[in-house]
Amino acid sequence: MAVKASDIPDLPTLQTIGNRRSYRYYDPNRTVEDYKIDIMLNAARIASCQGNINCTEAVVVTKDSDLWDEIEECVSGFNVQIINQSSHLIFWFTNLNAWYGRAIDGLSTLALSGALTRYHGWNYEFSMTQTIPRLMSFPVERTDDLLRFETGQHVSQAMLAGQAMGVGSILIAFGRKPGGIQKAFGLPSHYSFTWGHAVGYPLEDMAAGGQRVRLKFEALFNNEEMGKPRKMADGLEDALKEIGFFQEQAPTPGRFEEIDALAEQFGRDPGVISWPEKDIKRLMADDDWDFGPNIRARAQHVLDNEDLPEYPPEILETFRKIMTEHGIDTSKLLPDA
């Protein structure tokens, strides 16, 4: 049956952004409808795109694929359960040859669309003799940087489109076998495998235990110059809570019971991991993080009740060395020796 507009669930954008989580438990018995996968792919397709060169491509795979075993061997260990419960995997690739091969046609399509105007200083002769040749002479490493950024935003748009329809997503690392995914799909070197993306109907609650804590707004964003924190508009935080953009922070009540019940259902070990006492205390005192009451209560519960590990002393030195090499002040980020 042909898809109708009324078949497409469509939450408002800001609420969708607020609802988004990385889902790690999917219902293995539910398959996401093909049209919803197609909507997600289309959301990537119509995302902003340098020079309209269309560098982002993807392969959609299900567990019926002949390549499944090879794919499973490439995925990082902590993602194996996720891919096996998901409905579809989307492998996102950045076609670096789009930069070298489609710059001329991409700009030409923009000209035909009315997007390259004399008002903005566009000039055919200059574009063909200066701009495009300069872009096309970029080394592959630079193109790779530029285009993977672009694929990232294409993927982000696909994930949000899924979320707006109640379809869950998570990006997953395939770091176990470098080059393994390109090899599985028989792709030439101009295809950079950018990220793996698992899709499905979440088995966990759609709130997935609450919004994950982030650094504070002021710790990330500045006005005029770095180090001059930007303040959020008056009343905005509460207004965003009201429309569901900011939601209750993780871990919400019942989350650990939910995780344990899911573990039992699939015969996996229950529980979550924890960091050492000193480190949890250090983190809770770090004013950059936007810790609300739920995560503070959880930290206190862990400190009061759990048998916490020790910080491995040798790795502490390694971390100190790496951070120092990068000019990072370790006094705030590492426990005392």
Ligand X SMILES: Cc1cc2nc3c(=O)[nH]c(=O)nc-3n(C[C@H](O)[C@H](O)[C@H](O)COP(=O)(O)O)c2cc1C
- The footprint of ligand X (CB under 6 A) covers 21-22, 24, 76, 79, 170-173, 195, 212
Q: Residue 19 Cβ, how far from ligand X at the closest point, in Å?
A: 10
Minimum CB distance to ligand X smaller for 24 or for 298: 24
Q: Residue 149 Cβ, how far from ligand X at the closest point, in Å?
A: 12
Alpha-carbon distance 330 to 81, whole Å? 35
Q: Which long-range contacts (CB under 8 A, 24 or more apart) does 109-112 make?
A: 109/52, 110/51, 110/52
Minimum CB distance to ligand X smaller for 22 or for 182: 22
How far from 320 is each of 35, 153, 276, 279, 312, CA to CA, in Å? 50, 33, 17, 14, 13
Q: Is 91 helix (H, G, I), strand (E, B) or coil?
A: strand
Minimum CB distance to ligand X smaller for 116 or for 172: 172
Minimum CB distance to ligand X smaller for 152 or for 276: 152
Q: Residue 206 Cβ, how far from ligand X at the closest point, in Å?
A: 12
Alpha-carbon distance 102 to 330, whole Å? 46
How far from 254 is each of 204, 305, 306, CA to CA, in Å? 12, 17, 18
Q: Residue 182 Cβ, how far from ligand X at the closest point, in Å?
A: 18
Minimum CB distance to ligand X smaller for 212 or for 301: 212
Q: Residue 156 Cβ, how far from ligand X at the closest point, in Å?
A: 8
Minimum CB distance to ligand X smaller for 26 or for 195: 195
Alpha-carbon distance 266 to 250, whole Å? 23
Q: Residue 214 Cβ, how far from ligand X at the closest point, in Å?
A: 8
Alpha-carbon distance 281 to 226, whole Å? 28
| Number of other CB atoms surrounding residue 211 within 10 Å | 20
